[in-house]
């Protein structure tokens, strides 16, 4: 036996079975919903051929760069060999390729060229959706770059930001700039108004010097940044709170000796995920800056950036879900257990189908917000659209951020033990998903933003929401297969309206406790309506109907369910606190 080579295991043989790995195929061609959505709303050959070609490039070239970014993370070199402080953030060649590619493919530019009119944002975000999971997190600097361009455009493109604007929105790699967004300081990332200590000292030429410490600054190899600071008066005094914050523009540049001007990079963060991208702590030590907002209007002026980055965040969340589903369904054709491929185990396919329903819901919600953004930017928005965009931006960000973690985590399990193995590239998807609910506003902070936005509009925002959600159901009135889904959304809308009426009669703390459940309800009901609307489109497939039905089996209005259970009654906060601190 031995001599004949029959021993299946020996030093030279480790067995003959090797599992085939999941294969990433063209993410555009693999995504029936994306193509269906675009066929319905943007049936332009130019967009299709560009997305198809880009999808091919992502699968065959870009994905490997993304992996290289992960395995060659950025590092900080404080000193040159001769002891001079240089604070160089050294990034991989792949990270630099991503920058060039982003310019060439117009990943920011498309939003400003507006070649597809009101659908330009949908087109841009579709491209980013294909790119995101393979981008090595380059979508992060792109989000901030887009946000900075939006702020500059909304303030008015003129000196000193005209050059920056043209660089942020160019397709020429050698001119392309990225921007940072430096808001968070050690005392507070959510409560920016109390947490910002950075001061801006006026200079005789009208500019300012910034002195402060920025605790989280991502993609710190950026060429410029937008940031917040308090202007000092002649006595050195500043105004506390949000009303004391102004918005500043600063370029990140170096002197002849290669030293950063007015900035010291203290260290790079050691992070759970997003390791492909540098996130630094920065000492601002006299950074030259220009004020962009009126004094004290910093938060309101950076809000446009928040809108854009939160939408990008949501695109990345939906994209992470889509990617894990694509890989998992491919793997299910290649892996066998108990005598048959995983795809022939109904329980396994049920698990993937549930992930698919979540992914479809997230996609339609995200794209609808992109649609609204596109309408606003092309001057087509009605007041209803404007209200919806304001309300749904925090809603889509907070909801998809949480969905992404759940779906990607489930997705990893569908690869069994291999889903936990680092060099498959799969664990990085989960690590990177975890940040989506933290940065750009945590779930609770955005839930409170939703509440404020509803409260400040004296009912108009909520009215716009209910009106539009109902109009999305209109096409389904004669489609019997969708009847259970339509019924579920209609009754959830009634429950929502009842909740709002009751909540209006309660003390303010009541609504605060309900904020997260309210935001989830808004997300689930609206998504249900979008899935139904899409399933009614003449080009829809039976799977579109099935996805709508499955989605609407969720508790669409958890805020009403929990209200009925007394979850927001004044008795609950002390009970919650006692429970949390029970020893
Ligand atoms: O995390 C960060 C970067 C990560 C990297 C980029 C990733 C991008 C995605 C990539 C995908 C891969 S940067 C840091 C982000 N930080 C935050 O998001 C802060 C979270 N905290 C909040 O959002 C808070 O709600 C604050 C800071 C906005 C609260 O401040 P205030 O001053 O207490 O807020 P107020 O009083 O509610 O708002 C002040 C003004 C008001 O306008 P006026 O004065 O005209 O009434 C608000 O209406 O700002 C306006 N405003 C808004 N407007 C506030 N929030 C908004 C908003 N979201 N939209 C429009
Ligand atoms: P805190 O504000 O201390 O929040 C802690 C907890 O308290 C959270 O769960 C929050 O939801 C909760 N909480 C806070 N207030 C309330 C409330 N009123 N009611 C109920 N719950 C509440 N920031 C930048 O400015 N620029 C960047 O480039 C950047 N990059 C980042 C990169 C990474 C990888 C990470 C992790 C963060 C980055 N951040 C950046 C910072 C990020 O925006 C903040 O961490 C985030 O906004 C939360 O702020 P915080 O860390 O101070 O948390």
Each residue of 214-270: pLDDT tens digit? 999 999 999 999 999 999 999 999 999 999 999 999 999 999 888 999 999 999 999
Highest-scoring range by mean pLDDT, 257-261, 357-361, 509-513: 357-361
- Tell me, in angstroms, the distance from the centre of ligand 2 to residue 282's CA: 17
CA atoms within 13 A on the CB side of 263: 30
Return mean pLDDT, the chain: 96
Under the banding of pLDDT at 50, 70 and 90, the label for residue 183 is very high
Is the Cβ atom of 441 under 6 angstroms away from ligand 1? yes
Please name the residue whose Cα sits nearest to atom 48 of ligand 2.
189
Structural domain count, the chain: 1
| 82 belongs to a structural domain | no
Residue nearest to atom 32 of ligand 2 (CA): 218
Q: Is the pLDDT of residue 384 over 70?
A: yes
pLDDT in the model for residue 55: 98
| Residue nearest atom 43 of ligand 1, based on CA coordinates | 300
Which of 130, 445, 124, 112 has the alpha carbon at shortest distance from 306? 445
Look at residue 2 and tell me whether its pLDDT is greater than 80: no
Question: Is residue 316 domain-resident?
Answer: no
* CA–CA distance, 79 with 241 (Å, rounded to integer): 37
Q: Please, are residues 219 and 140 in contact by the beta-carbon 8 Å criterion?
A: yes
Name the residue at shortest CA distance from atom 18 of ligand 2.
Answer: 445
Question: What lines the ligand 2 site, CB under 6 Å?
Answer: 181-184, 188-191, 216-218, 271, 274, 279, 435, 438-439, 441-442, 444-445, 448
pLDDT at 463: 96
pLDDT at res. 4: 56
Instruction: Please tell me the number of the ligand nearest to residue 515's CA.
Output: 2
The pLDDT of residue 8 is above 90: no
Domain that holds residue 482: 443-580
For residue 475, the CA-to-ligand 2 centroid distance in Å is 41
Q: Is residue 566 part of a domain?
A: yes
Output the pLDDT for position 13.
Answer: 73
Q: Is the pLDDT of residue 15 over 90?
A: no
Q: How far is CA 425 from CA 10, 219, 323, 409, 429, in A?
A: 30, 21, 12, 14, 7
Residue 317 covered by a domain: no
Tell me which residue has its CA closest to atom 7 in ligand 1.
140
For 324, counting Cβ atoms within 10 Å of its Cβ (0-12 exposed, 13-18 middle, 19+ buried), the class is: buried
Residue 453 lies in a domain: yes
> pLDDT, tens digit, for every residue of 127-161?
999 999 999 999 999 999 999 999 999 999 899 99
Q: Please tell me the distance between residue 441's alpha carbon and the centre of ligand 2 in angstroms.
A: 6
Contacts of 143 (CB under 8 A, 6+ apart): 308, 309, 312, 313, 316
Q: Is residue 331 predicted with pLDDT exceeding 70?
A: yes
Spatial distance between the Cα atoms of 67 and 562, rounded to a whole number of angstroms? 43
* pLDDT (tens digit per residue) in 453-479: 998 888 899 999 999 999 999 999 889
- Per DSSP bridges, beta strands 224-231 and 179-182 are parallel
Determine which helix (DSSP H) or strand (DSSP E) holds 524, and give its type and residue range. helix 508-536
Query: Is 80 exceeded by the pLDDT of residue 287?
Result: yes
State which of 181, 219, 299, 442 you would mutate to test the pocket of ligand 2, scoring each by most atoms of that ligand within 8 A of its C-beta.
442
- Which pLDDT score is estimated for 240? 96
pLDDT band for position 569 (cuts 50, 70, 90)? very high
Closest CA to 392 of 372, 414, 420: 372
Arithmetic mean of pLDDT, 299-306: 97
- Name the DSSP class of 62: I
Task: Give the pLDDT confidence of 57-115 residue by residue, as tens digits.
Answer: 999 999 999 999 999 999 999 999 999 999 999 999 999 999 999 999 999 999 999 99
The pLDDT tens digits of the residues spanning 386-408 come to 999 999 999 999 999 999 999 99
Does ligand 1 lie within 6 Å of residue 439's CB atom?
A: yes
Residues 6+ apart with CB under 8 A from 9: 15
Question: Ligand 1, residues 306, 308, 455, 515: which to mutate, most atoms within 8 A of Cβ?
Answer: 306
Inter-residue contact 276 to 137 (CB < 8 Å): yes
Q: How confident is the model at residue 496 (pLDDT cuts 50, 70, 90)?
A: very high
Any atom of ligand 1 within 6 Å of the Cβ of 194:
no
Helix, coil or strand: residue 254: strand
- Look at residue 415 and tell me whether its pLDDT is greater than 60: yes
Could you tell me if residue 482 is inside a domain?
Answer: yes
Q: Is the separation of the CB atoms in 264 and 85 below 8 Å?
A: yes
In a domain, 561, yes or no: yes
- Looking at the predicted structure, is the pLDDT value of residue 6 above 90? no
The reply to whether 394 falls in a domain is no
Q: Which among 500, 513, 515 is positioned nearest to 567, based on CA atoms?
A: 513
pLDDT above 90 coverage of the chain, percent? 94
218 φ, ψ to 5°?
Answer: -90, 155
Would you give the DSSP letter of residue 59?
A: I
Asked if residue 307 lies in contact with residue 441, where contact means CB atoms within 8 angstroms, the answer is no
Taking the centre of ligand 2 as the mean of its atom positions, its distance from the CA of residue 191, in whole angstroms, is 8
> How many Å lie between the centroid of ligand 1 and the Cα of residue 147?
12
Beta strand 199-202 with 224-231 is parallel
| CB of 299 sitting under 6 A from ligand 1 | yes
Whether the model pTM is above 0.90: yes
**Alpha carbon of 234 to those of 237, 240, 514: distances in Å?**
7, 16, 45
Distance between CA atoms of 114 and 374, rounded to whole angstroms? 9
d(CA 555, CA 565): 14
CB 313 within 8 A of CB 393: no
Beta-strand relationship, 85-90 and 179-182: unpaired
In Å, how far from its chain's centre is CA 210? 29
Calculate how far, in angstroms, residue 104's C-alpha sits from the geometric centre of ligand 2: 33
Q: Ligand 2: distance of its center to the CA of 171 in Å?
A: 33
Residue 507 has pLDDT above 90, yes or no: no
Mutate to test the pocket of ligand 1, among 108, 303, 392 (most ligand atoms within 8 A of CB): 303
469 lines ligand 1 (CB under 6 A): no
Read out DSSP for 151-166?
HHHHH-S-TTSHHHHH
Dihedral Cα 540, 545, 546, 547, nearest 10 deg: 80
Q: What is the pLDDT of residue 249?
A: 98
């Amino acid at each position: 036996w031995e001599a004949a080579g029959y021993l299946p295991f020996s030093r030279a043989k480790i067995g003959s079975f090797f599992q085939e790995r999941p294969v990433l195929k063209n993410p555009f061609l693999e995504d029936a919903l994306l193509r269906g959505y675009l066929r319905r709303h943007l049936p332009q050959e130019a967009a299709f051929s560009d997305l198809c070609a880009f999808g091919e490039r992502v699968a065959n070239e870009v994905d490997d760069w993304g992996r290289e970014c992960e395995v060659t993370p950025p590092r900080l070199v404080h000193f040159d060999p001769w002891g001079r402080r240089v604070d160089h953030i050294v990034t991989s060649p792949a990270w630099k390729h991503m920058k060039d590619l982003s310019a060439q493919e117009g990943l920011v530019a498309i939003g400003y060229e507006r070649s597809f009119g009101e659908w330009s944002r949908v087109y841009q975000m579709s491209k980013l959706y294909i790119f995101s999971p393979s981008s090595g997190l380059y979508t992060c600097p792109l989000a901030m770059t887009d946000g900075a361009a939006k702020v500059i455009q909304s303030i008015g493109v003129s000196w000193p930001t005209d050059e920056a604007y043209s660089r942020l929105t160019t397709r020429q790699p050698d001119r392309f700039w990225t921007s940072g967004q430096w808001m968070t300081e050690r005392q507070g990332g959510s409560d920016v108004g109390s947490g910002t200590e950075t001061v801006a000292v006026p200079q005789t030429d009208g500019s300012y010097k910034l002195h402060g410490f920025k605790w989280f600054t991502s993609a710190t190899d950026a060429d410029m940044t937008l940031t917040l600071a308090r202007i000092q008066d002649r006595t050195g005094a500043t105004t506390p709170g949000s009303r004391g914050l102004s918005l500043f523009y600063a370029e990140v540049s170096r002197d002849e000796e290669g030293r950063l001007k007015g900035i010291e990079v203290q260290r790079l963060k050691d992070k759970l995920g997003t390791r492909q991208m540098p996130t630094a702590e920065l000492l601002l030590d006299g950074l030259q800056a220009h004020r962009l907002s009126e004094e004290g209007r910093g938060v309101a002026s950076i809000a446009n950036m928040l809108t854009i980055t939160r939408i990008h965040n949501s695109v990345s969340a939906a994209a992470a879900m889509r990617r894990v589903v694509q890989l998992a369904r491919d793997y299910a054709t290649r892996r066998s257990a108990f005598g048959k491929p995983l795809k022939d185990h109904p329980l396994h396919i049920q698990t993937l189908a549930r992930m698919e329903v979540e992914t479809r819901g997230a996609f339609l919600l995200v794209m609808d917000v992109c649609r609204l953004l596109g309408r606003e930017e092309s001057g087509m928005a009605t007041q209803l659209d404007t209200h919806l965009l304001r309300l749904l931006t925090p809603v889509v960000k907070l909801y998809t951020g949480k969905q992404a973690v759940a779906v990607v985590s489930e997705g990893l399990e569908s690869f069994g033990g291999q889903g936990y193995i680092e060099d498959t590239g799969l664990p990085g998807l989960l690590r990177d998903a975890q940040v989506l609910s933290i940065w750009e506003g945590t779930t609770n902070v955005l839930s409170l933003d939703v509440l404020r936005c509803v409260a400040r509009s004296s009912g108009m925002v909520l009215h716009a929401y209910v009106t539009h959600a109902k109009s999305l159901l209109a096409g389904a009135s004669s489609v019997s297969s969708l009847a259970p889904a339509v019924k579920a959304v209609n009754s959830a809308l009634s429950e929502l309206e009842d909740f709002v009426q009751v909540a209006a009669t309660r003390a303010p703390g009541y609504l605060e406790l309900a904020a997260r459940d309210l935001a989830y309800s808004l997300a689930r009901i609206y998504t249900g309506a979008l899935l139904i609307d899409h399933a009614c489109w003449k080009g829809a497939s039976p799977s579109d109907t099935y996805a709508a039905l499955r989605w609407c089996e969720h508790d669409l209005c958890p805020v009403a369910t929990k209200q009925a259970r007394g979850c927001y009654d004044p008795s609950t906060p002390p009970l919650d606190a006692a429970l949390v601190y029970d020893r």
